[in-house]
Each structure stands twice: as structure tokens, then as C-alpha cells.
């Protein structure tokens, strides 16, 4: 027994040493800060009180999964693109009001026949390694994108190019095979350094983990599975960003991210509707954070498989649209953090047309419409039937998206109220795509689309995209819409394009192939110590290089 007593004593001693080390160290860290603060030189005193923007500090943010590859053209995960958006630039970009403006190109001309674009490049741009950015890099990026050895998924727009000509060091001329109005916007693609990638196999390039771009931030460190740190590029062509670093913490669980936010370990994160409405009422949050809300670039919809009876019937789809309580979904699941959708555009963009057939919740009308096409409860079992068959179907959605499965539950209840027996099936993402979506094996689905800046809807709505792995997997076919979609791609004038897409929205609403549910709000929590925040249609981060923290409020210090 005495041995055990010794063992226990030994364990206690070891534990107390460990605890002592921990507390000793944390005390030392704290005193370090005080020391630094009290030892500040007198001429720096000005910067303490001044309200002028000042360099320093870091923005700690969160990513749900580890970025996979920091060459954006060959990565397809959003985590990688989040990080690379600070590292690379394109020739053009969208400004805060979502208008196309020059980025690495200072200006451009479009030829009379609209098939040629001449870009004039900025002359003061340097890669992170000091090499100048020139027309050669643009030419290389184009060749890189269409090279079969490049494992990229984003080559479609570049395959429409007939030729690319380098006129001089800072001018390139691009010639297209056909009229293609999203062409200009496609040059927002990340420019790649020719001097580092030309003639090399991109899949073995060190740039995948040590990117060299032209953007406002450079990679500083990457600790696997834990965090990525970016450091300000002092030679950035616009101006050096004030914030010294951007830190991405990899935290897969959003509940954990929220705790880290409350704890101050991260400065910003996107809150779920639930977090934004129900969990941010505490003082700890309100004292330290602001919540910024703006319309997100996505919409959620219910889609019908138009190849399958009875969903090929317009009246039936309209009846189901009327039976869908959009407002209940928005209030109950999204806590009113969403706008009702009527078509595939955001309500706050110039492409949106609200004057289309609306399907406000009206179960009586739904029942009347269904009666028109022969659905009635003849056997009094509480469910509608036609030709002796009960009206029933299955709603399918993917696993891992709680909002979508909750929507399916609300629909199930709402459709039961008008006498339709609905079952719900939730399928793992990969299986969902390959077995259900790509093979057309579904009746009704709950899904979402991202809304891109260019209004082109060809890929999702043109009848030619119904086969194979096309994105028009509901198989929507309307000759008039097909014609307008092609016209829209060939029209450069914004007003004319607006008219075309307005008409398309009306036609789609009349056919009701989707029930457009809502566009959610993005709810961004951001620490109050960051100044110069300017919320705009483009979101928050469009002017990130102008954000700063006052000297007194700065939280992180870095050795220069």
C-alpha cells in the first residue's frame, strides 16, 4: 500500500509542477504587454490618441475546413478560395456596388463587332517575389487555363477565345469566336505568375502551398489543420493594407467558432440565422461585436422533375406553389433573416424583376387548381386521389444541411393540409449528386444555387443543359426562354440585357418549374475594434485594405 501512497504523491507533484509552469508563463505574457505599453516612446504618443488610420494588428477569422490548394484555378473548395482572394488579383473586379471596374487592367476597349477586348495593364504591379507583372503573365494565364495538363474546372469561358495577342508589355488583345457578353467578367480570373509556372507541372508546383500572387496579402505561415497566416504586402499597388496580418483558424464546428468569438480568439465569423437572432443578445457579444447583415448571394428553391408525371403539369406545379407557406419558412426556420425570392436574382440587384406571377400562400386556391386537373378526395381517407391513385410523392434533399431538411418538414406538413401524402428522404451529398441529380432520379428536391454577378442563366435554364451532367437537371424546356438566354449572352448593352432577363423571369415564373423560396441574409459578426467598415452590396470585405485599429485598441503585436 505504501507504494501506492508514493505513486499518488508523485502524481500530485508532477501535476502541481505542470500547473505552476502554466500559470508562471501566463503571468509572464501579461506583464510583457504592460512593459511594452509603458515603454512607448514619446513621439509615438501621438499615434495613441490620433484617429488617423494606423498600421498594425491582425484580423483573426475562421474557416470551416482546411484549404486544399492555394492555386485557385485548380482548387474547387470555398476555404481555398477564401484565402486566395487576398493573394491574387484578376484583370477586372467588382467594386462595392457590384460594377465591373479595372483591377490589374487600368482600362479596356471593346471592338465594334464586340468580339475583341483590348486590355491596358497597370504598369506598377509586382508579384510578391518582386518580379513585375506584364502582358506575358496574362498570356500565360490564358494558356494555363486551356492546357489539358492543368487540372482546372474553370476553363469553359476561356475555350471560347479564338486568339490572345500580346501587343506590348502592358497591352493584350483577346479575340472571341462568338459574341459572349460575360467575357469581360470572366477576366476576373486569378492571374498566374508566368515566371514561376511556365513549363512546369502545376500539380507539383510549390505554389500550391506557397502562393506568389499580386494581391494585398502574402502567405506568412501555414500550420497544417490549425491556422493560416497572411502578412500585408507592403508593395501592393493600391496601398499597403493597414492590418498587418490576417489569420484563418480552421474550426470545423460552428458552435465552437461562436465560443471562440465570444472568447475573443477570433474577430469575425458568419453567424447562422439562429446564432444571429437567439444567441447574440448577451452583453459579452453586444459590447465587443457588431452584426452586419446583407443579402447573401444565393437562393433556396424547391425543384420539380419535369420529366416525370405528374410534375410535367403546369397547373399542378402552380397549385403546389400556392400551397407553399414561404413566409412560415422564412419566419420559422430563418428567423426572418431572409427575403422572399420570386426568381433567380437577388432583390437588390438591377437584374431583379419583382413584377412576375407571385405565388402567395393560398391553400384554397391550391385545392381548387388541383380539383381542376382531377385531384379530389373521393374515398374520404383525407388524401387527394386521381384515377383511384393517392396523390403522394417524395421530397429529396442532401444530408448535412439542416435548413433544407427543416424546409422539407414544413412542406410535408403544408402539403398534408391540402391532402397530399409527402415522405422525406435525405441522402448523403455525393450519392445525392451522382445517383439522384445526375441520373434524374427524383420527383421534388429542396436545393440552392449561388447567384453569380453576371446575369447569364444559360447553364441552369437552357434546354440543352438538361442532358448528362448539365445543371438544368429538372429539364426545363421553353423555346422562348432558350432564345432569350442566347440573346442575353450576345448583348453587351446593360439596359437591353436588363429587358431580356426581366422577360426571362416572367416566363419562368409563369411556368413555375421551381418554387423560389428565399434569399438569405449573411450575418457577419465583426469585432468593434476595426474601423472604416463600409457595408455595401458587395458585402463587407471589399475595402478590407482600408480597415484599421486604433493604437490603443490593437490586440496583436508582431516583430517587424
The residues that touch other proteins, with contacts defined as CB under 8 A, are 1, 18, 21-22, 24-26, 28-29, 58, 60, 65-66, 68-69, 74-77, 80, 148, 151-157, 159, 203, 208-209, 221, 223-227, 229, 247, 249-253, 255-256, 259-260, 262-263, 265, 284, 428-431, 433-435, 437-438, 449, 452, 459-460, 469, 471, 556, 559
User: In the bound complex, what is the minimum distance in angstroms from residue 83's beta carbon to other proteins?
Assistant: 13
Q: Which CB sits closer to other proteins, 164 or 189?
A: 189
Cell of 20: 505552476
Q: Determine contact, residues 237/243, Cβ cutoff 8 Å.
A: no
Write down the number of H helices and E strands in the chain: 17, 22
Beta strands in 191-342 (DSSP E): 217-223, 227-232, 245-250, 268-271, 289-295, 298-304, 338-340
Cell of 314: 403546369
Q: Which CB sits closer to other proteins, 39 or 450?
A: 450
User: In the bound complex, what is the minimum distance in angstroms from residue 519's beta carbon to other proteins?
Assistant: 17
Q: Which CB sits closer to other proteins, 205 or 362?
A: 205
Q: Cα dist. 479→85, 320, 407, 452 in Å?
A: 39, 24, 32, 24
User: In the bound complex, what is the minimum distance in angstroms from residue 91's beta carbon to other proteins?
Assistant: 17
Cell of 273: 440565422
Select from 552, 536, 517, 410 the least CA-distant residue to 96: 536
Report DSSP state, residue 455.
Answer: -
Q: Which CB sits closer to other proteins, 423 or 430?
A: 430
d(CA 357, CA 340): 13
Backbone angles phi, psi at 77, to 5 degrees: -90, 150
Q: Which CB sits closer to other proteins, 322 or 501?
A: 501
Q: Which CB sits closer to other proteins, 3 or 51?
A: 3
434-443: long-range pairs with CB below 8 Å, 24+: 436/396, 437/473, 438/468, 438/469, 438/473, 440/305, 440/307, 440/473, 440/475, 442/305, 442/394, 442/396, 443/304, 443/305, 443/308, 443/311, 443/393, 443/394, 443/395, 443/396
User: In the bound complex, what is the minimum distance in angstroms from residue 376's beta carbon to other proteins?
Assistant: 38
On the 0-12 / 13-18 / 19+ scale of CB atoms within 10 A, 51 is exposed
Q: Which CB sits closer to other proteins, 22 or 45?
A: 22
Q: Which CB sits closer to other proteins, 419 or 448?
A: 448
Residue located via cell numbers 469585432? 527
User: In the bound complex, what is the minimum distance in angstroms from residue 505's beta carbon to other proteins?
Assistant: 18
User: In the bound complex, what is the minimum distance in angstroms from residue 229's beta carbon to other proteins?
Assistant: 8
Cell of 330: 422564412
User: In the bound complex, what is the minimum distance in angstroms from residue 345's beta carbon to other proteins?
Assistant: 14
User: In the bound complex, what is the minimum distance in angstroms from residue 185's beta carbon to other proteins?
Assistant: 11
Residue located via cell numbers 447583415? 293
User: In the bound complex, what is the minimum distance in angstroms from residue 291's beta carbon to other proteins?
Assistant: 19
d(CA 257, CA 411): 31
Q: Which CB sits closer to other proteins, 1 or 495?
A: 1
Q: Which CB sits closer to other proteins, 171 or 349?
A: 349
User: In the bound complex, what is the minimum distance in angstroms from residue 261's beta carbon to other proteins?
Assistant: 10
Amino acid at each position: 500500500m505504501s507504494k501506492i501512497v508514493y505513486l499518488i504523491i508523485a502524481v500530485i507533484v508532477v501535476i502541481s509542477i505542470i500547473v505552476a509552469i502554466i500559470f508562471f508563463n501566463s503571468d509572464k505574457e501579461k506583464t510583457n504587454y504592460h512593459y511594452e505599453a509603458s515603454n512607448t516612446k514619446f513621439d509615438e504618443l501621438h499615434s495613441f490618441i490620433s484617429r488617423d488610420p494606423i498600421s498594425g494588428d491582425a484580423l483573426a477569422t475562421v474557416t470551416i475546413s482546411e484549404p486544399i490548394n492555394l492555386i485557385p484555378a485548380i482548387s474547387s473548395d470555398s476555404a481555398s478560395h477564401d484565402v486566395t482572394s487576398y493573394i491574387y488579383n484578376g484583370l477586372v473586379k467588382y467594386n462595392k456596388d457590384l460594377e465591373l471596374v479595372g483591377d490589374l487592367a487600368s482600362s479596356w476597349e471593346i471592338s465594334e463587332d464586340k468580339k475583341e477586348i483590348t486590355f491596358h495593364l497597370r504598369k506598377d504591379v509586382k508579384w510578391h517575389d518582386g518580379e513585375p507583372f506584364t502582358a506575358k503573365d496574362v498570356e500565360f494565364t490564358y494558356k494555363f487555363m486551356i492546357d489539358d495538363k492543368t487540372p482546372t474546372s474553370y476553363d469553359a469561358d476561356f475555350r471560347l477565345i479564338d486568339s490572345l495577342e500580346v501587343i506590348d508589355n502592358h497591352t493584350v488583345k483577346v479575340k472571341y469566336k462568338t459574341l459572349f457578353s460575360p467575357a469581360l467578367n470572366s477576366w476576373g480570373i486569378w492571374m498566374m505568375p508566368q515566371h514561376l509556372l511556365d513549363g512546369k507541372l502545376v500539380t507539383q508546383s510549390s505554389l500550391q502551398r506557397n502562393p506568389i500572387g499580386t494581391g494585398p496579402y502574402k502567405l506568412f505561415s501555414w500550420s497544417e489543420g490549425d491556422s493560416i497566416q497572411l502578412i500585408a504586402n507592403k508593395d501592393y499597388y493600391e496601398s499597403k493594407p493597414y492590418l498587418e496580418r490576417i489569420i484563418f483558424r480552421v474550426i470545423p464546428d460552428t458552435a465552437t467558432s461562436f465560443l471562440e468569438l465570444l472568447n475573443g480568439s477570433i474577430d469575425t465569423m458568419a453567424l447562422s440565422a439562429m446564432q444571429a437572432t437567439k444567441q447574440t443578445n448577451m452583453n459579452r457579444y453586444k459590447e465587443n461585436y457588431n452584426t452586419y447583415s446583407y443579402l447573401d448571394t444565393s437562393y433556396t428553391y424547391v425543384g420539380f422533375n419535369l420529366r416525370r408525371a405528374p410534375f410535367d403539369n403546369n397547373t399542378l406545379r402552380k397549385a403546389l406553389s400556392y400551397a407553399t407557406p414561404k413566409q412560415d419558412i422564412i419566419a420559422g426556420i430563418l428567423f426572418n433573416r431572409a427575403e422572399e425570392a420570386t426568381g433567380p436574382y437577388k432583390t437588390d440587384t438591377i437584374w431583379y424583376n419583382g413584377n412576375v406571377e407571385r405565388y402567395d400562400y393560398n391553400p384554397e386556391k391550391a385545392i381548387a387548381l388541383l380539383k381542376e386537373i382531377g385531384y379530389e378526395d373521393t374515398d374520404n381517407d383525407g388524401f387527394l386521389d386521381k384515377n383511384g391513385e393517392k396523390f403522394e410523392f417524395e421530397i429529396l434533399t442532401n444530408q448535412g444541411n439542416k435548413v433544407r431538411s427543416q424546409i422539407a418538414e414544413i412542406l410535408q406538413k403544408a402539403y398534408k393540409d391540402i391532402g397530399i401524402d409527402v415522405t422525406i428522404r435525405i441522402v448523403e451529398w455525393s450519392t445525392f449528386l451522382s445517383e439522384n441529380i445526375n441520373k434524374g432520379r427524383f420527383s421534388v428536391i429542396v436545393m440552392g444555387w449561388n447567384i453569380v454577378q453576371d446575369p447569364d442563366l444559360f447553364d441552369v435554364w437552357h434546354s440543352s443543359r438538361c442532358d448528362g451532367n448539365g445543371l438544368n437537371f429538372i429539364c426545363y424546356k421553353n423555346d422562348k426562354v432558350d432564345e432569350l438566354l442566347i440573346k442575353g449572352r450576345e448583348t453587351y448593352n446593360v439596359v437591353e440585357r436588363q429587358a431580356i432577363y426581366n422577360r426571362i423571369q416572367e416566363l419562368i415564373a409563369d411556368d413555375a418549374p421551381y418554387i423560389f423560396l428565399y434569399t438569405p441574409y449573411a450575418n457577419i459578426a465583426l469585432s468593434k475594434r476595426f474601423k472604416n467598415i463600409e457595408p455595401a452590396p458587395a458585402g463587407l470585405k471589399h475595402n478590407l485594405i482600408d480597415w484599421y485599429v486604433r493604437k490603443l485598441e490593437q490586440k496583436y503585436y508582431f516583430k517587424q
